[in-house]
Amino acid sequence: MAKKKPAPDNAILPTADYSGLLDDVVSLLETARRTSARAVNAIMTATYWEIGRRIVEVEQRGDQRADYGSELIQRLSVDLVARFGRGFSPINLRQMRRFFILWPSERIQQTVSAELPVDPSVEIRQTPSVESATAKTPSSLAKDITSMRTVVTHFPLPWSHYVKLMSVDDEKARIFYEKEALRGGWSVRQLDRQVSTLFYQRTLLSKNKAAMLRKGSEPQAEDLVTPDEEIKDPLVLEFLNLKDEYSEHELEEALILKLEEFLLELGGDFTFVGRQRRLRIGDEWYRIDLLFFHRRLKCLVVIDLKIGKLTHSDTGQMHMYLNYAKEHWTHEYENPPVGLILCAKRDKAVAHYSLEGLPNKVMAAEYRMALPDEKLLTAELEKTHRAIELKAITSDSSPQKSTKKKTDKRDE
């Protein structure tokens, strides 16, 4: 007679708790597979959040949480892989656990409460039920589906996007990237590039950083979109791999060869129209380096490449290009074209006096061949936040004028 195998040591892993967790997770996965295949990405993302929630809640019952959590993840992985195949490794389960921690239930319930009917049977459950050890009834399955559909509405991005977002430690940056990825329809590759090139920090360092912070990172459909908000400054072109010395022709060639990366750096609403577009003015022929179209601005964007400093003659030449483009290349339903002079260095005074007051919208942005220093960005971000907070306090103070002592000009 064969000897029975000894039962696993469950000294720190209560059997009832684990059985309830396993059955709950199995039920979630089976429920997800019953839903429409067209919504499988959204359903699975919501399912992973629910799995993470159940893991965290069962972990919190253990007396020795560190050992308990490790034991729980390992055992759950073995059982789920046996039933559902690959995709439930300990690493993946830890990601699901982190997913719930970074997107906690409080965030969902605050907005869900107004959407759900007043019926406790469809609320998101706070703890996994021990009764789930028994077979699921049709009514309980319906509740699972209703609960999952509620969660789905709060995770519109694919799971791969949330995996990337979980690598962002700063909560404000993470929220910013999530909203921008949804607004701009970013692929996971686009999202990866924006995170790796510190798009959030560079946006806050732009000349419109204070206005952007006041408005928040969630754009509204009715907001008026301006070229100053849509065109980054500076642009980081580290992907070109150009060395210290290069010509404007070499810069243009590199941008065309790396056009996909350049479009990702410009932003999701830019579309490439052409390069070296010829135009004849009087008896002279000219060439525009790069021509793009911006979908939200609904206008052509003329780009002129300069490897040196911005000069007033560059501005005059761009003004001429835009007058020609407005007359010959712009369709009736489009807005007037916008000019962007992409230069290695821009003097603020030269830019101010040569760009202000023009009939056409001409902008000058610097490009850099290396990513910015993250420490400097952090310092600038903190400085910006302090300035905005101080301005908010000042605006909320009493409207009565306060008397101030005159300060020495040397202190100004």
- For 91-142, write each residue's pLDDT tens digit: 889 999 999 999 887 766 554 433 333 333 333 333 333 333 334 555 555 5
**What residue type is 177 in one-letter code?**
Y
- For 255-283, write each residue's pLDDT tens digit: 888 887 888 788 778 889 988 988 898 88
3-state secondary structure of 241: coil
Stated pTM of the model? 0.50
What does the pLDDT read at residue 121?
36
What does the pLDDT read at residue 17?
74
288/378: higher pLDDT = 288
Q: Which residues pair with 366 in a beta bridge?
A: 343
The torsion of the CA quartet 202, 208, 210, 212, rounded to 10 degrees, works out to: -80
What number is the average pLDDT over the span 59-76? Answer: 68
What does the pLDDT read at residue 385?
60
Question: Strand 361-368 relative to strand 338-345: parallel, antiparallel, unpaired?
Answer: parallel
What does the pLDDT read at residue 108?
64
What number is the average pLDDT over the span 321-344? Answer: 92
Of all residues in the chain, the percent with pLDDT exceeding 70 is 64
Q: Is the pLDDT of residue 61 over 90?
A: no
Exposure of 57 in the CB half-sphere (CA atoms within 13 A): 21
Confidence of residue 337 (pLDDT cuts 50, 70, 90): very high
What does the pLDDT read at residue 101?
92
Task: For the chain, list the domains and their CATH numbers.
Answer: 15-156 (no CATH), 197-368 (3.40.1350.10)
Q: Is the pLDDT of residue 10 over 70?
A: no
Give the Cα separation of 12 and 356 in Å (integer): 71
19/49: higher pLDDT = 49
Tell me the pLDDT of the chain averaged across its residues: 74
Give the Cα separation of 387 and 295 in Å (integer): 33
- For 351-395, write each residue's pLDDT tens digit: 889 888 888 899 998 888 776 665 566 666 666 666 666 666 666
Most confident option among 15-24, 60-69, 330-339: 330-339
Give the Cα separation of 206 and 15 in Å (integer): 56
What number is the average pLDDT over the span 56-71? Answer: 66
Radius of gyration of the chain (CA): 28
What does the pLDDT read at residue 200?
84
What does the pLDDT read at residue 163?
92
- For 190-227, write each residue's pLDDT tens digit: 888 888 878 888 777 766 655 544 444 444 444 456 77
- For 133-166, write each residue's pLDDT tens digit: 334 555 555 555 566 667 777 888 888 899 999 9
Give the Cα separation of 152 and 138 in Å (integer): 21
Confidence of residue 186 (pLDDT cuts 50, 70, 90): confident
Q: Is 331 exposed, middle or buried (0-12, 13-18, 19+ CB in 10 A)?
A: exposed
What does the pLDDT read at residue 87?
78
Confidence of residue 69 (pLDDT cuts 50, 70, 90): low
Give the Cα separation of 341 and 302 in Å (integer): 8
Exposure string for 75-98, b = 16+ CB within 10 A, e = fewer: bbbeebeeeeeeebeeebbbbbbe
